[in-house]
Amino acid sequence: MKFFIDTANLEQIKEAQDLGVLDGVTTNPSLMAKEGITGRNNILKHYVDICNIVDGDVSAEVIATDFEGMIKEGEELADLHEQIVVKIPMIKDGVKAIKYFADRDIRTNCTLVFSAGQALLAAKAGATYVSPFIGRLDDISTDGLNLIAEIRLIYDNYGFETQILAASVRHTMHVLECAKIGSDVMTGPLSSIEGLLKHPLTDIGLEKFLADYKKGN
């Protein structure tokens, strides 16, 4: 399973990259705003900065919600850097835009996906990635992980190549469950990746090994 980090914070992206397990980055307008990145030029520059830190795919989201606007913005984003994947919302014009980009070998990430039907449409249109938001489904008492399982089943039934990118991942258990189900990618905060490191028996065991070593040296 690929690990993406879901942030526009350059320090956290560097930290995940330095760990050696990072496969890409996802961002969205809210994450950009959280880092105080505003204005079109600053946002575009920030995407390039992110691409220069990581080796993998970097999702950059369009703001337009009409077909022509999404095409114009998406082409501009794709031209920024070869690692950019154009992030398009799951709306009617978005599906058309995904198809347009697929026909031109421009990679896309279909975002704001909350149902298996939406994921099926995204795959039919030729999205590179589909992003079901599991945490936000959990927030409204709906099983987000079950959606990942449904999409996995549907994509496997027909050999769709669209990669399932579990998004709105909040914690390590989301990561582990996505791995068990067979999500292709997960994107979450740095804490959801670093949390996988932690086990008290590891810390206790290491402390004892070092203490025993010191006794004999």
Task: Enumerate binding residues for ligand G3P (CB under 6 A).
Answer: 6, 26, 28, 31, 133, 135-136, 167-168, 170, 187
Which CB sits closer to ligand G3P, 86 or 100?
86
**CA terminus-to-terminus distance, the chain:** 42
Closest approach, Cβ 189 to ligand G3P, in A, equals 8
Q: Which of 87, 124, 180, 214 is catalytic?
A: 87
Of 78 and 169, the one with the shorter C-beta distance to ligand G3P is 169
CA dist., res. 171 & res. 185, Å (int): 15
- Is there a catalytic annotation at residue 180? no
Which C-beta is closer to ligand G3P: that of 32 or that of 78? Answer: 32
Sign of CA dihedral 104, 79, 1, 185: negative
Shortest Å, Cβ 31 to ligand G3P: 6
Q: What amino acid positions are annotated as catalytic residues?
A: 87
